[in-house]
Amino acid sequence: MAEATERLVDQAAAERAAKVAQMGSRKNNSHDWGGSRQLVSNLPSKGDIWRKVATYETHNGALVEDLMQNILGKGFLISSMHGVLVEEGAGGQSMHQDQSFPLPHPPFPVHANVIYMYTPWSLENGGTYVIPGSATDGSGNSILCGPPGTCFVSDGRLLHAGAPRLAPGVRLGNNIYHCRAQMKQQENPWVSFCAMDQASPKLKRLLFGSESAEIGFGQIHLRAGGVVPVGELSMSRPEEFDQDFDFYYTEQARTYANETEGETAMYNGPTRPDIMQPEQQASKL
């Protein structure tokens, strides 16, 4: 757990420094700087420890894998894998289901989630509200709590919401969202995964559905020349921050750059004429 915590904190800090962070505004309703919530996506590309976690090679991993296979059946895939850092005063979410489709839900799950808790989770520390039985039309409400090292496995239909963190410090967690093989993944590994030379056959099967990572000619992905994917970064290698990351050209980068006033994200893509910039919006008022 210590290795995963250290790698998550280092990667998150490096992404902020390189201005590729998926981090919203830290301004609250009174316009003072408060807490923030940072998401570190595509973790299998960002460290050997995450590739071990993804393939159930860490403590009690075999048990987690058995649970996932019992929920989703053989041949399930990793839909997405990300870390979350929640500061004091941030982290509140609306109630939702990770399995948002198909609707109406079939009588069996097609998605399932694994949450690893790297710091204590409680109401004050920013746990997760859950509605027990919501996957099977039950009712109730409680908070998902646990000490560091706890792993929570859930049906994707479970209604839940991240609670705001009230205590000082940062809540650290790692979510691995899984799906049945016929479902579309949240993170497209053909585009996002950039550590193929370090991927084991098992990881390739979990990401691509095949140990050879080759399904057909239509799945071949070629990146635009000169653009660098956001892979493993570290504060110990600041020279890596000065690269032309593909993130800079995405609509996601535009959003985060606007929300944080360029503090933790940067957008280098073209200006879209169909979207007014903040100064243009102000002139219309």
pLDDT, one tens digit per residue, over 140-166 is 557 778 899 899 998 888 888 888 888
Residue 107 belongs to domain with CATH number: 2.60.120.620
- Give the pLDDT confidence score for residue 8 in this predicted structure: 97
pTM of the predicted model as reported, rounded to 2 decimal places: 0.85
For range 221-238, the mean pLDDT: 80
Q: Which domain holds residue 265?
A: 2-284
Distance in angstroms (rounded) separating the CA atoms of residues 256 and 50: 25
In this predicted model, what pLDDT tens digit does every residue of 35-70 receive, in sequence order? 688 999 999 999 999 999 999 999 899 999 999 999
* Total structural domains within the chain: 1
